[in-house]
């Protein structure tokens, strides 16, 4: 048997493209934003998407692929960063979007408890000014990417012991690479599958249903499509529900460009 020596991003694009040739293929790409389409920046406002990534996304849409961005950021921020008019963008882990008026409701008692979490986090962060507290539709995110490792450990210990004093009924705490997020379980990226009408229609494996992401919040999506699609972890190896991995946002760019190239080559051959 011949070994495929192409780089992982190109191989992965080849798999997705082959799957997309079947008549009932999903041809759907679900892309996380920070750490996937855009490299992680010291401050979220400094994150940027490389222009070739945008070009590839536009080309894929023209070739019939459905592409959506699913971010943990508030939707308006994600839309501004993505910068592609008409591209469906979900914010707050799927609670907002794909359009501006789409906002899933969170129970009032849960919202009140999130208010308590926000107050406590803002109070604690006075000792850690580099920590960024963000209130979103169904969560409070405490971003600590700007802290040095020792300070991050101290901050996370303080936060954990303080959160333990609050009533967190109906909420869950998610510890990611650069963020601790207290969220309503409704704020899960997996909900976009129903919104887009991708599931539960699919029952057979289809590697043209691809979800790419780098963080704990992307695992909800990887798990939801396990068996019917292809979850792709972006970044270093770790325990994951994803079945494939790309090393970095740059590799994601090469994957998108290669997939767009396969589509245009096929179009030219017709």
Which spans of this chain sit near Mg ion (rule: CB under 5 A)? Answer: 32, 34-35, 214-215
Q: Nearest to Mg ion by Cβ — which residue?
A: 35
Least distance in angstroms from the C-beta of 18 to Mg ion: 27
3-state secondary structure of 115: helix
Name the β-bridge partners of 30.
68, 211
Whole-number Å distance between alpha carbons of 113 and 111 = 5
Cβ at position 213, least distance to Mg ion in Å: 6
Q: What is the DSSP letter of 226?
A: B
Judged by CB, which is closer to Mg ion: 34, or 144? Answer: 34
CB of 105 to Mg ion, least distance (A): 25
Strands ordered across the beta sheet of 132-135? 132-135, 139-143, 179-183, 172-175
Tokens of 135: 């209130």
CA–CA distance, 234 with 217 (Å, rounded to integer): 13
- Paired sense of beta strands 230-234 and 209-213, if any: parallel
Least gap, CB of 129 to Mg ion (angstroms)? 24
- Report the distance separating Cα 244 and Cα 139, nearest Å: 29
**With respect to Mg ion, which residue has the nearer C-beta, 33 or 131?**
33
Strand order, beta sheet including 209-213: 89-90, 66-70, 28-31, 209-213, 230-234, 244-246
Cβ contact 140:112 at 8 Å? no
Q: How far is the CB of 36 from Mg ion (least distance, A)?
A: 5
Of 71 and 184, nearer to Mg ion (C-beta) is 71
Q: Which is nearer to Mg ion, 111 or 146 (CB)?
A: 146
Query: Judged by CB, which is closer to Mg ion: 214, or 257?
Result: 214
Q: Which is nearer to Mg ion, 35 or 229 (CB)?
A: 35
Q: How far is the CB of 261 from Mg ion (least distance, A)?
A: 25
């Amino acid at each position: 048997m011949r070994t495929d020596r192409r780089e992982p991003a190109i191989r992965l694009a080849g798999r997705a493209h082959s799957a997309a040739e079947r008549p009932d293929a999903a041809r759907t790409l679900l892309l996380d934003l920070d750490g996937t389409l855009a490299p992680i920046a010291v401050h979220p406002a400094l994150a940027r998407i490389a222009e070739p990534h945008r070009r590839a996304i536009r080309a894929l849409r023209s070739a019939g692929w459905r592409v959506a961005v699913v971010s943990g950021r508030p939707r308006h921020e994600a839309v501004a960063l993505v910068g592609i008019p008409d591209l469906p963008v979900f914010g707050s882990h799927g609670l907002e979007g794909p359009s501006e008026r789409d906002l899933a409701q969170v129970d009032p008692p849960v919202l009140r408890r999130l208010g308590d979490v926000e107050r406590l986090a803002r109070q604690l962060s006075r000792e850690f000014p580099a920590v960024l507290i963000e209130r979103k539709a169904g969560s409070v995110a405490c971003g600590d990417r700007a802290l040095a490792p020792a300070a991050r450990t101290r901050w996370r210990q303080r936060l954990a012991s303080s959160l333990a004093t609050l009533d967190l009924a109906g909420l869950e705490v998610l510890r990611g690479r650069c963020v601790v997020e207290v969220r309503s379980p409704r704020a899960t990226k997996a909900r976009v599958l129903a919104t887009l009408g991708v599931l539960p229609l699919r029952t057979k494996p289809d590697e043209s249903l691809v979800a790419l992401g780098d963080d704990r919040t992307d695992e909800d999506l990887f798990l939801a499509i396990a068996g019917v699609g292809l979850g792709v972890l972006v970044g270093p190896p770790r325990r994951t529900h994803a079945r494939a991995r790309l090393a970095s946002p740059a590799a994601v760019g090469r994957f998108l460009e290669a997939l767009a190239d396969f589509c245009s080559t096929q179009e030219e051959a017709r």
